[in-house]
Structure 1
Amino acid sequence: MPTTTVRELIRENYSALTQSERKFANALLENYPSAGLASITIVAANAGVSTPTVARMVQKLGFKGYPQFHKALLAELEARASGPTQRRAAWAAAAPDSHMLNRFAEAVTHNI
């Protein structure tokens, strides 16, 4: 998956979700991303939906299945917990080159 977060995928696809899928999406967004880090059975039960509902929703978001969805959430969590250099690299990729911090980093690099 590209640098799009699961949260962004949910927001982009929210209107295409069924009522039950939205119930899971809302439960996930309320406690993001930790609400999606358990097994599919547990996250479904915690959201008050069926396991097939969760499976359908993650496929609508573009994942092959729950394991790929789960892996994406873990990767987001690891990126948050990483050091400042890794966080800046992840952030800078999504920010325009004209952003003040990217211009500053470019100037500092050039000066060195």
Structure 2
Amino acid sequence: MGCWSGTPRSSGPTRSTATRSSTPWPRIWGGGLGTEPAEALVAYGFEALGLTEVHATVDARNEASPWLLGRLGFAHVRDVEEDDGGLTRVLTCRNPARGAARGRQ
């Protein structure tokens, strides 16, 4: 269907993960196949790994994924123009349980 990955990265006193979601089949975008893996990946990052943020990248032509990610707490951060001229949207979700602790550091 597509590809999901998580890569823990250390960034000073906080830890975050970069995720990538892509599929070569635009006809399945918006078909409801991303909800369960997205929820599981975010929960794993926050609960099991204790991450402060989870990042996602989405092909700009895929209008369903940013909507889904928004429901999970992601916010649009920026757009990246790819070498082939395509546009990738970058979204970030901050761990609400770790936000207060991060603010005190």
Q: TM-score range by the shorter chain?
A: 0.3 to 0.5
Higher fraction of strand: 2
- The two structures have a TM-score, normalised by structure 1, of 0.31
Greater fraction helix: 1
Q: Higher RCO, 1 or 2 (CA under 8 Å, sep at least 6)?
A: 2
Task: Name the TM-score, length of structure 2 as normaliser.
Answer: 0.32
| Structure ID, larger Rg | 1
